[in-house]
Amino acid sequence: MSLINIIDFPVLGDGRGALVALEANHHIPFEIKRVYYIYGTAQGLARGFHAHKELKQVAICLKGSCRFVMDDGKGKQEVILASPDKGLLIDAMQWHEMYDFSENCVLMVLASDIYDEDDYIRDYQNFLQEIKKC
């Protein structure tokens, strides 16, 4: 089973440039309750290192590039996000780590719920224990 689920968004391009429109429950497979974005990332530093118990997310690299490592407790797979017309689905109970942010990277994330620290599993051993119960 692939841990990398990329959603290709339709690009409505014309002579003036490109336009991508994302609709909840259509292009994005959930109701969007929160949008956040990451930019100005320190060079050489990684982020993530957690899984979410319930939250579903789609990550879109609007500018530049970054690398995601996705982990289901049995295996790991990597993907580079470098295009604003592609979204990476980060499902619940997928451990994820983000590396190699380019200097100009702008990473936008659409999330199925508002921020809740209790939904995070930030300890990898705890994640491995929880995944066995799924």
Task: Give the Å distances, CA to CA, from 69 to 10, 37, 97, 128, 133.
Answer: 25, 18, 5, 16, 22
Of 3, 56, 57, 61, which one interacts with ligand T46 (CB under 6 A)?
Answer: 57
Of 7, 92, 93, 109, which one interacts with ligand T46 (CB under 6 A)?
Answer: 109
AA letter at 78 = E
Whether residue 115 contacts residue 54, with contact meaning beta carbons closer than 8 Å, is answered with no
Of 36, 63, 77, 85, which one interacts with ligand T46 (CB under 6 A)?
Answer: 36
| Residue 50 falls in the annotated catalytic set | yes
Residue 49, CB-side half-sphere exposure with 13 Å CA sphere: 8
Of 8, 37, 53, 115, which one interacts with ligand T46 (CB under 6 A)?
Answer: 115
Euclidean distance between CA atoms 53 and 64, whole angstroms: 29
Q: Which of residues 71-90 bind ligand T46 (CB under 6 A)?
A: 90
Q: Which two tokens stand for residue 68?
A: 């995601």
Site for ligand T46 contains 39 (CB under 6 A): no
Site for ligand T46 contains 20 (CB under 6 A): no
> Quick one: 15 or 44, whose CB is closer to ligand T46?
44
CB atoms near residue 103 (< 10 Å): 8
Active site residues: 50
Q: Which residues bind ligand T46 (CB under 6 A)?
A: 34, 36, 38, 47-48, 57, 59, 90, 109, 115
